[in-house]
Amino acid sequence: MEHYSDRRYLVSFDSAMVPQIFADVLVIGSGVAGLRAALTAAEGGEVLLVAKGQLEESNTSKAQGGVAAALDKEDSSALHMQDTLDAGQGICDPEIVRAITAEAPERIEELARWGANFDREDGRIALTREGGHSMARIVHALGDATGKEVADTLIRRVRETEGIKIMDGTFVLDLLTMPEEGCVGALLHDRSRGPMIVWAKATVLACGGAGRIFRETTNAPIATGDGIAMAYRAGATLTDLEFYQFHPTALYVAGASRALISEAVRGEGGILRNARGERFMPKYHELAELAPRDAVSRAIVTEIRETGHTCAYVDMRHIAAERLVRRFPGIRDLCAQFDIDITREQVPIRPAAHYMIGGVQVGFDGRTSVPRLFACGEAACTGLHGANRLGSNSLLEGLVIGHHAGDAARRTAESESREAPHTRFKVRLTAARTDAIDVADVTDSLRALCWRSLGIERTRFGLDEVAHMLVFWGRYVMAKEFRDRAGWELQNMLQVASLLTEVAMMREESRGVHFRTDFPKTNDALWKTHLDVSRELGVQQRRVEG
């Protein structure tokens, strides 16, 4: 399959003419993982934290459900680990799973010390249950605003921490790499000051996922796969890209952006019904509404197709109104914007792209295959999630791996005695010619195509269609030198979609969130593997041990 991996954003300027910034550690991204990495990195040096939008703008802030942690006396990290392994369907990294689930209580206690206002019952942190979990272990805040509370807590801490400089409204065009040295910083474009270079002794990618390549997504507009694309161009190894998780229950109102209806709604007793009013999950899975997300998403898609309706529904009318409003005030307010009373009416839902399980291949310390480059959060792939992320493990992973990536980056920077290199780069930002391309139109077409053929159900025919169109668009989009964020984002989205399509086409089986209608069974004999991708080696299979 044709790629455009040689395209670099080093679009021609002289470094002597462009502002240069020096940092011990550069952190790219302001979600849970990036914020946590910056805090630990700042314990030993100067940190520059770069945000594409406002510091508060991230997928973390939109997360409703919670953080998974075994805090109940009847629960244990071993049970949490087993649930995670079961959801991951054979390709989790058991050691990573063990380490992250064991550290979960410590990270929750840390956030509580820093002022996170977690919901409590009788003085103890309240816990609820979500699909795939055998125990109630989901820590939540303000009912259904856990992500925002976690993000706000970390942002307060970051703003109070001496040694962290914040640059928001800044697009990172590309990583800067040098032979033998690896990543030495990044090329940025600030919305008010233009291009600039950041030289850094260590760089942490925490740019989030790529949900915006799909028409239907719960992701924030900033989630365009920038970190995945720039890591690939820099030579890093990516893995498990074919596993993209779709949230089963996004609010479906024609003309409105998709918003989460938390999985915790089903954990608290919400029932899924089709357009005929029939409860349908028991016929698809023994856990019914508490089945893993991939099973619920496929069941909803099937019911929508069989009923000929545009959506399915989540029914909360049987739950006591007072309890429902207390537990889900955000969802109550969201639905009320569309004149839907969750205590009296069913809520229309359908699946939407939600979480990128694959990403830049890293270990427990966030270290990538490129020297001095680290990654964490949704941009990274640790092996925690396997083929299907267990609900509320993502904020947990961001907290744990963010901390360890920040620590490894700090130690790397401390071991670097000299200043960052002064090297001349060439960039032609002023030479851009984009008059022949309607960026918005290509972006909309890409998102519609990916949703149709790269979404919840995949076939060889559909994947071939995506591959063909990506090559066609790529020939004239990837060759352009854009001058604005929309064009750069489109190039990154095309790059990520191309890589995702290639590995989805190769994996001729169904496993977790990767479902091939032409290969509906799981095939451990051939496909109990990871698919690793790099510019240098292309796609390689890596057998899962055990």
206-245 pLDDT, tens per residue?
A: 999 999 999 999 888 899 999 999 999 999 999 999 999 9
Q: Which residues lie below 8 Å from residue 314, measured CB to CB, with a gap of 6+?
A: 249, 261, 265, 266, 270, 271, 272, 273, 346, 347, 349
Q: Is residue 204 within 8 Å of 28, Cβ to Cβ? A: yes
Higher pLDDT, 14 or 465: 465
The reply to whether 170 and 199 lie within a common domain is yes
Q: Collapse the DSSP code of 38 into the 3-class scheme (helix H, G, I; strand E, B; otherwise coil) and give the result.
A: helix
- Neighbour tally for 313: CB within 10 Å: 23
The reply to whether 61 and 34 lie within a common domain is yes
Q: Please give the pLDDT value at position 204.
A: 98
The reply to whether 109 and 156 lie within a common domain is yes
Alpha-carbon 345 to chain mean position: 32
Q: Please give the pLDDT value at position 428.
A: 46
Is 50 exceeded by the pLDDT of residue 5? Answer: no
**Residue 445 belongs to some domain of the structure:** no
The reply to whether 150 and 181 lie within a common domain is yes
Confidence tier at 76 by pLDDT (50, 70, 90): very high
Is 90 exceeded by the pLDDT of residue 416? Answer: no
Active site residues: 293
Higher pLDDT, 274 or 429: 274
Q: How far apart are CA 465 and CA 114, in angstroms?
A: 50
Average pLDDT of the segment spanning 3-30: 66
Mean pLDDT of the chain: 89
Is 60 exceeded by the pLDDT of residue 107? Answer: yes
Q: Please give the pLDDT value at position 145.
A: 78
Q: Which two tokens stand for residue 162?
A: 């001496």
Confidence tier at 16 by pLDDT (50, 70, 90): low
Q: Which two tokens stand for residue 147?
A: 């992500």
**Residue 534 belongs to some domain of the structure:** no
Q: How far apart are CA 114 and CA 133, in angstroms?
A: 27
For 39, counting Cβ atoms within 10 Å of its Cβ (0-12 exposed, 13-18 middle, 19+ buried), the class is: buried
Average pLDDT of the segment spanning 86-110: 96
Q: Rounded to whole angstroms, what are the CA distances from 318 to 156, 265, 399?
A: 39, 12, 36
The reply to whether 344 and 399 lie within a common domain is no
Q: Please give the pLDDT value at position 293.
A: 83
217 secondary structure, DSSP code: B
Q: CA nearest 3: which of 540, 542, 541, 533?
A: 533
Q: Please give the pLDDT value at position 292.
A: 83
The reply to whether 178 and 61 lie within a common domain is yes
Is 50 exceeded by the pLDDT of residue 429? Answer: no
Is 60 exceeded by the pLDDT of residue 435? Answer: no
Q: Is residue 360 within 8 Å of 235, Cβ to Cβ? A: no
Q: How far apart are CA 357 and CA 368, in angstroms?
A: 16
Strand spans (E) along 115-243: 120-121, 124-125, 127-128, 138-139, 164-167, 170-178, 182-190, 194-205, 238-239
% of residues, the chain, pLDDT over 90: 72
**Residue 219 belongs to some domain of the structure:** yes
**Residue 400 belongs to some domain of the structure:** yes
Q: Please give the pLDDT value at position 128.
A: 86
Is 80 exceeded by the pLDDT of residue 308? Answer: yes
Q: Which residues of 213-231 are buried (b: 16+ CB within 10 A; e: fewer)?
A: bbbbbbbbebbbbbbbbbb
Is 70 exceeded by the pLDDT of residue 185? Answer: yes
Confidence tier at 537 by pLDDT (50, 70, 90): very high
**Residue 483 belongs to some domain of the structure:** no
- What is the number of structural domains in the chain? 2
- CATH number reported for the structural domain that contains residue 327 in this entry: 3.90.700.10
Q: How far apart are CA 1 and CA 6, in angstroms?
A: 14
% of residues, the chain, pLDDT over 70: 92
Instruction: State the DSSP H helix or E strand holding residue 233, giving kind and residue range, or none if neither.
Output: helix 226-233
The reply to whether 136 and 195 lie within a common domain is yes
Q: Which residues lie below 8 Å from residue 545, measured CB to CB, with a gap of 6+?
A: none
The reply to whether 36 and 151 lie within a common domain is yes
Confidence tier at 424 by pLDDT (50, 70, 90): low
Q: How far apart are CA 288 and CA 498, in angstroms?
A: 35
Confidence tier at 43 by pLDDT (50, 70, 90): very high
Higher pLDDT, 314 or 256: 314
Q: Please give the pLDDT value at position 132.
A: 82
Q: Collapse the DSSP code of 185 into the 3-class scheme (helix H, G, I; strand E, B; otherwise coil) and give the result.
A: strand
Q: Please give the pLDDT value at position 85.
A: 95
**Residue 272 belongs to some domain of the structure:** yes
Q: Please give the pLDDT value at position 504.
A: 97
> Which domain-ending residue is among 302, 333, 352?
352
Q: Please give the pLDDT value at position 146.
A: 86
Handedness of CA 544, 36, 217, 501 (dihedral sign): negative
Give the global pTM: 0.91
> Which domain-ending residue is among 352, 379, 394?
352
Q: Please give the pLDDT value at position 117.
A: 92
Cα angle 12, 15, 20 (rounded to 5 degrees) comes to 130
Q: How far apart are CA 126 and CA 103, in angstroms?
A: 19
The reply to whether 166 and 38 lie within a common domain is yes
Domain range for 31 = 15-242+357-415
Q: How far apart are CA 89 and CA 139, in angstroms?
A: 24
Q: Which two tokens stand for residue 292?
A: 């893993």
Highest mean pLDDT, choosing among 12-21, 399-408, 431-440:
399-408
- CATH number reported for the structural domain that contains residue 189 in this entry: 3.50.50.60
**Residue 10 belongs to some domain of the structure:** no
The reply to whether 327 and 365 lie within a common domain is no
The reply to whether 70 and 198 lie within a common domain is yes
**Residue 500 belongs to some domain of the structure:** no
Q: Which two tokens stand for residue 182?
A: 């690896």
Average pLDDT of the segment spanning 160-176: 94
The reply to whether 131 and 181 lie within a common domain is yes
Q: Collapse the DSSP code of 413 into the 3-class scheme (helix H, G, I; strand E, B; otherwise coil) and give the result.
A: helix
Is 50 exceeded by the pLDDT of residue 7? Answer: no
